[in-house]
């Protein structure tokens, strides 16, 4: 596993990939939070709160994370290196987990520069006590858990095809459906009491608690369960390719 992890990290940080993705993420968030006049802009809202960032970041990540994951398995299969990995004394589980942990590290690297928003908020706020630091760090925890689930979904779609473009499109669609699609479907009130069950299966329902400063073990277990489920799905389809 550690050899795969090292290989993946060298690919991400040995090239411009991770730096470009991180720059795009910070640039998009900064434009919407500080410059563009919209519902996320800190100055438009006029409240010393990071809630806007935690509402915006998932929408940016559900497009960027599939860009990171799309080549994880699909490129290996397209280039024929997946067969080479099968011939090495490495288990399939180690291959998938090594790639998964590397992607988590890259996403954490992307999130790290956004702490400048918190620093700026503290310095711009007239009342420093109005900033709830605990809620902010809870929001970051929720964003990390959501990102981990997005990564698991992205790895899953990458294991389905050897075409990176197809892996990206299907990854974005799956992340969008899991984050917002189920919530939107439940809002139509078509299935009566079943609508609440549909809503609870979506990412947004469980993510909102973190953004409000609430850490519930049920939400943590939900994201871990979904991540493990799709990692297992990736293992299943990679095994079929062996």
Q: Residue 121 pLDDT > 90, yes or no? A: no
Q: Which of 29-33, 87-91, 219-223 has the lowest mean pLDDT?
A: 87-91
Q: Residue 136 pLDDT > 70, yes or no? A: yes
- Write down the pTM of the prediction: 0.92
Q: Which of 58-67, 121-130, 226-235 has the lowest mean pLDDT?
A: 121-130
- Decide if 111 contacts 104 (C-beta within 8 A): no
What percent of the chain lies above the pLDDT cut of 90? Answer: 45
Structure token pair of residue 5: 């992890």
Strand, coil or helix: 90:
coil
The most confident of the ranges 42-56, 110-124, 167-181, 188-202 is: 167-181
Q: Residue 175 pLDDT > 90, yes or no? A: yes
Structure token pair of residue 212: 């409000």
- Decide if 172 contacts 66 (C-beta within 8 A): yes
- Decide if 238 contacts 96 (C-beta within 8 A): yes
Residue 39 binned pLDDT confidence (cut-offs 50, 70, 90): confident
The predicted pLDDT at position 58 comes to 96
For residues 213 and 43, give the distance between their C-alpha atoms in angstroms, rounded to a whole number. 22
Task: For the chain, state the CA radius of gyration.
Answer: 19
Q: Rounded mean pLDDT of the chain?
A: 86
The predicted pLDDT at position 60 comes to 96
CB neighbour list of residue 167: distance below 8 Å, 6 or more residues apart: 66, 69, 70, 71, 73, 74, 154, 157, 158, 160, 161
Q: Residue 130 pLDDT > 70, yes or no? A: no
The predicted pLDDT at position 42 comes to 78
Every domain of the chain and the residues it spans? 2-241
Q: Residue 125 pLDDT > 70, yes or no? A: no
- Decide if 151 contacts 65 (C-beta within 8 A): yes
For residues 30 and 228, give the distance between their C-alpha atoms in angstroms, rounded to a whole number. 32
Q: Residue 149 pLDDT > 70, yes or no? A: yes
- Decide if 185 contacts 201 (C-beta within 8 A): no
For residues 154 and 176, give the distance between their C-alpha atoms in angstroms, rounded to a whole number. 11
Q: Return the DSSP state at 71.
A: T
For residues 12 and 24, give the distance between their C-alpha atoms in angstroms, rounded to a whole number. 15
For residues 147 and 143, give the distance between their C-alpha atoms in angstroms, rounded to a whole number. 6
């Amino acid at each position: 596993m550690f050899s795969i992890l090292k290989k993946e990290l060298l690919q991400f940080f040995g090239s411009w990939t991770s730096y470009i993705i991180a720059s795009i993420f910070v640039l998009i968030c900064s434009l919407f939070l500080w410059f563009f006049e919209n519902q996320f802009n800190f100055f438009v809202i006029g409240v010393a709160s990071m809630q806007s960032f935690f509402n915006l970041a998932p929408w940016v990540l559900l497009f960027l994370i599939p860009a990171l994951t799309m080549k994880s398995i699909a490129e290996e299969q397209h280039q024929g290196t997946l067969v080479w990995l099968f011939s090495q004394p490495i288990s399939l589980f180690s291959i998938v987990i090594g790639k998964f942990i590397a992607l988590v590290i890259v996403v954490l690297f992307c999130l790290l520069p956004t702490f400048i928003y918190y620093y700026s908020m503290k310095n711009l706020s007239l009342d420093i006590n109005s900033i709830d630091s605990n809620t902010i760090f809870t929001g970051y925890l929720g964003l990390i858990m959501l990102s981990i689930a997005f990564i698991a979904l992205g790895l899953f779609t990458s294991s389905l095809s050897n075409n990176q473009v197809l892996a990206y499109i299907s990854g974005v669609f799956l992340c969008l459906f899991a984050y917002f699609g189920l919530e939107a479907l439940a809002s139509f009130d078509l299935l009566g009491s079943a609508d609440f069950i549909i809503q609870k299966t979506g990412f947004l329902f469980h993510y909102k608690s973190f953004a409000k400063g609430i850490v519930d073990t049920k939400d943590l277990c939900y994201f871990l369960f979904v991540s493990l489920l799709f990692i297992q799905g990736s293992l299943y389809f990679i095994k079929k390719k062996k």
